[in-house]
A and B are shown apart, each in its own frame.
Chain A
Amino acid sequence: QVQLQESGPGLVKPSQTLSLTCTVSGGSISSDTDHWSWIRQPAGKGLEWIGRLSTSGTTIYNPSLKSRVTISLDTSNNQFSLNLISATAADTAVYYCAREASGWHPYMHDFWGQGTLVTVSS
């Protein structure tokens, strides 16, 4: 059973970089059939897909965040990370990491982390 766990600071100052790591267990992050994504949810609101990373190194980002976001892979630690520069209060949300399955055109998020709340405030 694949498990994902987000980690990182719960509080980020405005204009600074929001950085989170997702640790994957129970499976290899190097699987060539899976993709790894970040999704966020502001309090009381819906879900927003941030982007995904394939083990081939291909990344796809939401255009609404594209200029500020980077998702990267650390295969040696079975982790992937999110960096969001120039954070503002609008980036305050619960951030989820998830596995996007499967193949060259993924179609669902079958495993999710528990989510981590990040607040952007001075």
Chain B
Amino acid sequence: DIVMTQSPLSLPVTPGEPASISCRSSQSLLKSNGYNYLAWYLQRPGQSPQVLIYLGSNRASGVPDRFSGSGSGTDFTLTITRVEAEDVGVYYCMQALQAPLTFGGGTKVDIK
């Protein structure tokens, strides 16, 4: 199985300030078609996860442009340019290159 490792585990943020989360995979997620099979999800308290970013850097429909994904191969970053109060929750990265799909352990983002 591909192991996904996120850091930090917890991230206190100040509204209006930037924030970033790192995700590392145990093997490259870059497929021969040029796409990185890496997605980012946000799970707000008491809710189901929702996709933010897919194929490494593509924003999902309806996701604000303050969210962006970058990286390639084994190292990826989710960046929030200006954190808003509604961004609190747990963020997960997930690899979709091969089954079983696997998730990182999660990064809990809350307001300072």
Chain A interfacial positions (CB closer than 8 Å to B): 46-49, 51, 60-64, 96, 105-110, 112-115
Contacts and interface: CB of A to CB of B under 8 A. Distances in A.
A117 to B, nearest CB: 12
A107 B103 contact: no
B3 to A, nearest CB: 12
Contacts of B103: 46-49
A52 B31 CA distance: 21
Contacts of A109: 39, 41, 49, 51
Contacts of B35: 107
Nearest to B61: A110
Nearest to A115: B48
A111 to B, nearest CB: 9
B43 to A, nearest CB: 8
Contact of A60 (B48, B51, B60, B99): B99
